[in-house]
Structure 1
Amino acid sequence: MKPLFLLLLYFVPPVLYAQQDTAYRNRVEFLIDTIENSGALTKHEIKRGGIVYGCWLYKNSLFKIKKHWSEKTAENNVLENDLQYYLDKGKLIKAFEREVLLVNGNRDDVSVWSATTYFKNGQLYYITSLGHGKTEDEQYDMEKETLKNFQQLKAILRKQLKQQQK
């Protein structure tokens, strides 16, 4: 009986945690999907120096911000970058980052890296990463970099929106 009890103690907590984790991500995705399909979003887009910035307002609150840009590398490749951040009540709940490397600018020869992160109470809660990129580097701090990029982009967009309103 005792070995069975110990076995249960070993396996049950991770399963319960995984269920909580999935439930939180499902709630975030449901919220995002509901708002995006509500028809109540107001989109603002700003193009500056080859960079496209975007923000979406929902009921006069910031809901989503994004940044898209391309750059040429020293090896004559093209690197396309996308950043997207989703907010709920002013707090970051989800971030998506993607890099697409076009070898010699050719869309048939690509390398893709992406990461989706979920935040809860201002802290990284869950991450999933696909492809070869930043998350393979032991020194890369996904939480720190995501929050830094988010704050910088939010500040840029607020400044640009204020200038447009003048």
Structure 2
Amino acid sequence: MSMAAHMVTSSDFYMGDPYSQANFPNTGFLYVRSSRRAVGAMAAWRAARSSYPGKHEQQVMNEIRRGELVARRGVRIQFLDTAHVAGFCSNTRDFATLYTMHANCCVGLGAKLHDLRNLLEEWRVYRRMPDEERRRRGPVRWKVPGICIH
């Protein structure tokens, strides 16, 4: 996390700049640094839910982040690179750069668990490979299709 960020969130889609509002946030992984701006942003986010009936918290964040949070409150949001904090929205990530996985872009706990279990097994196979074989094979990506991964 950058010292300049008030909030850090994972991304469904990452556009290359950690501070660009063109990134698509996924609030399933969210870090908020304690500060007046961040506390105000969290209160505004919560209050905004009543203005967007039927939308869940991530959809509300998408509605208010550019205006209410960034422009009006001066909150600096940092988006995590999907090369390291990946998800099911994008299935082209290399296991060598992956730190954690998020079961985003997937509906239902059963579907998420199914694909995460498959991914974990692939990760175990990858980790058992000798380093020389990993280098020789190049990027190792998870298999497609799954229930969520498509």
TM-score (norm. length: structure 2): 0.24
Hey, which of these two has a bigger chunk of strand by percent? 1
Give the number of the structure whose alpha-carbon radius of gyration is greater.
Answer: 1
Between 1 and 2, higher relative CO (CA 8 Å, sep ≥ 6) is seen in: 2
